Chains A and B, each alone.
Chain A
Amino acid sequence: MAEEVPSASYIPYVHSQTLTSHAHALSSLKFSSDGRLLASASGDQTIRTYAINLKGDPIAEAAQVFTGHESGISDVAFSTDARFIASASDDKTVKLWDVESGSLIKTLQGHTNYVFCVNFNPQSNMIASGSFDETVRIWDVTTGKCLKVLPAHSDPVTAVDFNRDGSLIVSSSYDGLCRIWDSGTGHCVKTLMDDENPPVSFVRFSPNGKFILVGTLDNTLRLWNISSAKYIKTYTGHANSQYSVSSAFSVTNGKRIVSGSEDNCVYMWELNSRKLLQKLEGHTEPVMSVACHPTENLIASGSLDKSIRIWAQKK
């Protein structure tokens, strides 16, 4: 099933840089929407940002370190204008940081268990966070107040994401369900589930908000159509049965799905044909998180081996 079928026009990615600034496993990586910064969150209780210089060598240079959390961090997210970063941590809080200065602005209290995932809405006036306490909370960025508590799932919430106009939130959980919520009212709009419900480890909206990419702990990635509530694509070949491995859409050079894997590689499939295009090898431990640069053909991957690897297309 997992043959490497390189099509004639496919230019493979090659390893460009390795960053080893963290002292503990990497949990999450995100590029800012203007592509100038990369943020990484780690179990060493810090978040780090790197400036991305596409013409430079090395491409990524360390910029800031954010300290203040009292426990490991599971997720990090940029606001749309890249002025703020939100981080979700095992100390049950979400913290809001200023990107330029690295200082802590606000602490959002309310969750009663580890906060696992966090994301800004496109307008960046609200933050959604999912936690081991089985709820999703929506916070007001200006005041830090919790606007809504969604009784989302019956197991830890593993991922939250907003769609492109910020009107919908998708949440996934180990209970095997993906739920779609109206972000304004907090009401559940839809639940997506199949006959077998393997724990869902990751979910995100497609760029146009019509589809969601769902990663489940049965080594499968699926693309679901929200309105028909059925999945239309399946991607296999990688290993994902233990960790919350993240995946991403790559649209800068043909439509692709990129995902981390527990066999230490980064997998890339073609979206429509589902063919495996490339396996990026180099990490020595499971790859937990991947991020695709918004405009350039650049992929960043973070792994349990405490390193971040940057992959660029061969010139």
Chain B
Amino acid sequence: MNAPIIDPLQGDFPEVIEEYLEHGVIKCVAFNHRGSLLAAGCADGSCVIWDFETRGIAKVLRDNDCAAAITSVSWSKYGHRLLVSAADKSLTLWDVSTGDKIARTTLQQTPLHARLNPGLSSPSLCLACPLSSAPMIVDFEIGCTTLLPVCVPEMPDVLAPPQRSKCAESGPPFSPAAACFNKCGDLVYVGNAKGEILIVDYKSVRVLALVPVSGGSAVKNIVFSRDGKYLLTNSHDRIIRIYENLLPAKDVLRSLEDLGKNVDGVDGVEKMKTVGSKCLTLFREFQDLVTKMHWKAPCFSGDGEWVVGGSACKGEHKIYIWDRAGHLVKILEGPKEALIDLAWHPVHPVIVSVSLTGLVYIWAKDYTENWSAFAPDFKELEENEEYVEREDEFDLMPETGKVKVSSVNEDEEVDIETVEKDAFSDSDMSVEELRYLPAEPIPDTNEEQDELKLIEARISASPASEEAVQNGHVTDLVSSPQGEMGETRGKRKRKPSEKAMELQAEKAKASKASGRTVREKSRAVGDQEIDESVNGGGDDDDDAYY
């Protein structure tokens, strides 16, 4: 969007924690298509949607029937619908803009992952992966669930749709499998416990191709990159593998059928494998050779250039970032709270990670001030350069005066209206995307307005009298506005460093009065840093004793 202006030389992955968001105990997160909204599922069964630009809460979806922890959230492609799966075996489909429940079903087992079909604009079809049975397609409109094959039976007749009982015989019992839709949503890629990737046409419930994963160990996660060109698998042998998708973007089913027809002489499983080898090729493998850790929530960056995997070994909060060529470029280390979920922003170099305590950490680039942006003729040098002056530098009348070159051709045609096609509209524009939820300003209450008038009067007053007055007056108004503001304003804090934040939190809660005055004072002065305001609060306490 502003690509031409912003410096392209800055690396594209985050480095430090910028902020954290809090709303109950968060279990899982998902960005919408553009990254303007972040949906998160909580342990109490509600789902909160943050406006990622203002970092404020845009909506809370609460289902009174469901009080079980949310296991996954998934957006529809254009952001109109949200699919939520919960620990009470239910799947709920929400309409985001109205906040109403569209549909709800209960499955046999708790779904761990549920994903809406990315190919449809208003999907009512989703893929659910339960803990201990085969992944299934759930259709909300018709109200039926279809189990997907997790393994290819060793029989020539592969076209018969495998029923549940058949699978239980040929495959190991309780075989967990991971599955995902491909980019256009007409195929499902299933990674099973035997270490194979099956490409399944879910409409006819047929396995069309098979790709064995080297090592043969169970596949735990399977994820596509945003552009559909790369596929990532996370296996039980602690290796993340990247596959290149050889199938074309459109008309995938037909290409697969053609591939199947062209393979002569082989049948059954062998045919599947041959077709499979034409669909995916192994590109890279990532693993941590030193600690051999299990990876959690691996995924691609928005542009597919980076691969990120989280590690929760020994309760740590580490994020590993590789470039697609396989080099480990960065390890981000967070506070000592185990990592449970991870998401990369589709557009910006921002990562969002969820810790076991339910906090959502936002990782962003560490910004170094770009001074030449403030003064265009200011050149930043890497090191000191010795300046050699011209012969006539100190002459009273230098020979070569500054020649003002006004070579502006003002007659050129200027176009103020055409806009370039957005790089991120990789889809047809016929469906309008839901990018933002309309902001509903929370009205000031009368008490708040009175308080603000007091503050306003004090802005012009001297700082010394300010503190004394604040302690006296504001204590009365503390109780009710404090309560309201605590609820209406979603908690946001900046740059936490663990110990410091704990101390500040204690101080603010314990001494409500001074905490309150401190907040007003900081607002009046226009200072955002909580560090400074808490120290100011300390001074206020002293004044009160006189």
Contact = CB atoms under 8 A, between A and B. Distances in A.
B97 to A, nearest CB: 13
B1 A167 contact: yes
Interface in B203-258: none
A287 to B, nearest CB: 23
Contact of A184 (B5, B53, B438, B459): B53
Nearest to B372: A191
B444 A144 contact: yes
A149 B417 contact: no
B439 A223 contact: no
Interface string A71-108: 00000000001001000000011001000000011110
Contact of A210 (B416, B449, B488, B489): B416
B408 A232 contact: yes
Contacts of A272: 411, 413-414
Contact of A190 (B5, B414, B418, B528): B5
Contacts of A81: 438
Interface residues of A, number: 66
Nearest to B371: A188
Which of B373, B449, B523: most chain A CB closer than 10 A? B373
Interface in B410-453: 410-419, 435-436, 438-444, 449, 452
Nearest to B54: A140
B200 interface: no
B376 A191 contact: yes
Contacts of B449: 107
A180 B373 CA distance: 9
B165 interface: no
Contacts of A149: 526, 528
B1 A144 contact: no
A185 interface: yes
A187 B375 contact: no
A189 B490 CA distance: 29
A126 B443 contact: no
Interface string B1-34: 1101110000000000000000000000000000
B456 interface: yes
A18 interface: no
Contacts of B412: 232
B452 A107 contact: yes
Given A106-B444, A210-B416, A233-B414, A146 B523 contact: yes
B439 A109 contact: no
A164 B419 CA distance: 10
Interface string B37-76: 0000000000000010111111000000000000000000
A123 interface: yes
B444 A92 contact: no
Interface residues of B, number: 54
B367 interface: yes
Interface string B385-417: 000000000000000000010001011111111
B414 A232 contact: yes
B497 interface: no
B367 A185 contact: yes
Contacts of B419: 164, 208-209
B5 A189 contact: yes
Contacts of B58: 142
Interface in A206-234: 206-211, 223, 226-227, 229-234
A271 interface: yes
B370 interface: yes
Given A187-B370, A187-B373, A142 B410 contact: no
Interface of B: 1-2, 4-6, 36, 51, 53-58, 348, 367, 369-370, 373-376, 404, 408, 410-419, 435-436, 438-444, 449, 452, 455-456, 459, 488-490, 523-524, 526, 528
29 contacts: A92-B459, A105-B443, A106-B443, A107-B452, A110-B526, A123-B53, A125-B438, A141-B54, A141-B439, A142-B441, A142-B442, A143-B56, A143-B489, A144-B441, A145-B56, A149-B526, A183-B53, A184-B53, A190-B373, A190-B376, A191-B376, A193-B376, A209-B419, A211-B414, A232-B410, A232-B412, A255-B417, A272-B414, A274-B410
Across the A-B interface, the 8 shortest Cβ-Cβ residue pairs:
A206-B416, A141-B439, A125-B439, A188-B373, A140-B54, A123-B436, A208-B419, A142-B439
Given A143-B56, A208-B416, 15 more contacts: A110-B523, A123-B53, A123-B436, A124-B439, A125-B439, A142-B440, A142-B441, A143-B490, A165-B1, A188-B374, A191-B376, A193-B376, A210-B416, A272-B411, A274-B410
